[in-house]
Amino acid sequence: MAVKPLRIAVAIALVLVVTFAIWKLGKVYGQNGKPGSPAAAAVRVAVVRRAAISTSVSNIGTVQALNTVLVRARVDGAIEQVLFKEGQIVSRGEVLVKLDPLPFEAQLRVNQAQLSKDAALLDNAKVDLQRYEALLQADSTSTQTRDTARSVVAQLTAAVANDAAQVDLARLSFSYTTIKAPITGRVGARLIDAGNIVHTADSTGLVVITQLSPIAVSFAIPQERLKDLRAAQVRGPISVTVLNEAGGPSENQGEVILIDNQIDTMTGTIRCKAQFSNANDTLWPGQFVTVRIALKTLPDAILIPTIAVQNGSEGPYVYVVTAGNLVKARVVQIGSVEGDQTIVVSGLSAGETVVTEGQFRLEPDAPVHIASVDSPRTALP
């Protein structure tokens, strides 16, 4: 009875041996059918090219308003009218809020009346002084009386000047009952309502106005790129592009307006700021965006697709296809990565062929079958 299980076990062992032998022969015999030639792997390749390209650096930035104003009351009073709507675009000088003007009108009239009173007294004192001057010439009065008249004129002149200043101050306070927009921008949520009493000491304010056009984006770049950034600044305005969700350039084109005066020792980066017109309000304060800063143009760069670059123990390398359709692993020195293109500093020459897809199946001196060739890419602007 034990013979049948033994036969089954022997049959299974024979099947495994035959399967292994077939697999081994498939490894030994290649497409040419000759022993010792491994099968050629199908790969996608690209031709190394020489072209002009703009070098850049990209990073995450934060959109910031160039100007943000918390509108406050400059006098104490009751709110009579709120003339703006939340989220409205307002122009500089546009009336936002009106306070009750009656107390300020009354104070202005009081000061104007005091000014008129003191001005009349001054006119009378000047007439008296003229009389005393004439009497003194005729020896009909004393010098002391004339000097006293001069002192009264001087005092009333100062009083009139003070009254005029009080009138100007009252008129200024009256003008503050009409609260106007100090900048052009978009108003936020209303912080007050009509009927409330406001004070100059209030910390909440009335409303916040944020300037949206133009607008700024704050970002940081590695300190290693500072030299290139400053060199670009010497040549002229530094172009900055906000990238869209697909990673391509958007309609928002601006230029650098600030390179900070010190490097952040915690991060090894330097803070910069760029300004954008933002005509369509596509950038919003607080928004995170990716920006690309153009540094310089290399007129004769060696370019390969970024996906061709592999990382090994000796550094970056690529698989180069030789004339006999064999691949060689070659260590390269790479520069910056510009989109889907990588600048090669050394290790490759224009016209050579590198593998861009299928590298995981390759080893040095392995034969390959070129399944497709990548079309040349256009250099970044």
Q: Tell me how far apart the alpha carbons of residues 318 and 326 are, in angstroms, rounded to a whole number.
A: 13
Does 202 lie in the same domain as 79?
Answer: yes
Shared domain for 119 and 148, answered yes or no, is yes
Q: Are residues 272 and 369 in the same domain?
A: no
Chosen domain end from 248, 269, 299 = 299
The tally of CA atoms less than 13 A away on the side-chain side of residue 206 is 33
Cβ atoms of 253 and 234 within 8 Å: the answer is: no
* pLDDT (tens place) for every residue of the chain, 381 residues total: 445 565 666 566 665 655 655 555 555 444 444 455 567 888 899 999 999 888 888 899 999 999 999 999 999 999 999 999 999 999 999 999 999 999 999 999 999 999 999 999 999 999 999 998 888 888 888 889 899 999 999 999 999 999 999 999 999 999 999 999 999 999 999 999 999 999 999 999 999 999 999 999 999 999 988 998 999 999 899 999 998 887 777 889 999 999 999 999 999 999 999 999 998 899 999 999 999 998 888 888 999 999 999 998 889 999 999 888 899 999 999 888 887 889 999 999 999 999 999 888 888 888 988 888 887 654 444
- Same domain for 82 and 185: yes
Give, as one character, the DSSP assignment of residue 377: P
Please give the helix or strand (H or E) that residue 304 lies within, else none: strand 288-305
Q: Does residue 87 sit in the same domain as residue 193? A: yes
pLDDT at 19: 60
Q: Which domain holds residue 331?
A: 36-52+300-373
Residue type, 58: S
pLDDT computed for residue 272 by the predictor: 96
| pLDDT tens digits, 155-174 | 999 999 999 999 999 999 99
Domain count for the chain: 4
% of residues, the chain, pLDDT over 90: 65
Q: How far is residue 53's CA from residue 349's CA, in Å, rounded to a whole number?
A: 16
Q: Are residues 89 and 199 in the same domain?
A: yes
Residues 202 and 80 in one domain: yes
Instruction: Evaluate whether residue 40 is within a structural domain.
Output: yes
The pLDDT value given to residue 288 = 95
pTM above 0.85, yes or no: no
Q: Quick check: 225 and 57 in contact, CB under 8 A?
A: yes
Q: What is the CATH number of the domain that holds 114?
A: 1.10.287.470
114 found inside a domain: yes
Assess whether 361 and 342 both reside in one domain: yes
Structure tokens at 251: 């309609």
* Rg for the chain, CA atoms, rounded: 42
- Phi-psi sector, 247: left (phi>0), alpha (psi -120 to 50), beta: left
Same domain? For 226 and 292 the reply is yes
Q: At which residue do the structure tokens 């670059």 appear?
A: 309
DSSP code string of 112-160: HHHHHHHHHHHHHHHHHHHHHHHHHHTT-S-HHHHHHHHHHHHHHHHHH
268 shares its domain with 308: no
User: Computed from CA positions of residues 49, 51, 53, 55, in that sequence, does the dihedral angle turn out positive or negative?
Assistant: positive
Domain shared by 359 and 314, yes or no: yes
How far out from the chain centre does Cα 181 lie?
A: 25
Asked if residues 71 and 179 have their Cβ atoms less than 8 Å apart, the reply is yes
DSSP SS3 for 166: helix
Q: What angle do CA 27, 28, 33 make, to 5 degrees?
A: 110
CATH number, residue 205: 2.40.50.100
DSSP one-letter code for 35: B
Residue 110 lies in a domain: yes
Residues 220, 294 within the same domain:
yes
Position 380 scores a pLDDT of: 41
Q: Is the residue at 295 inside a domain?
A: yes
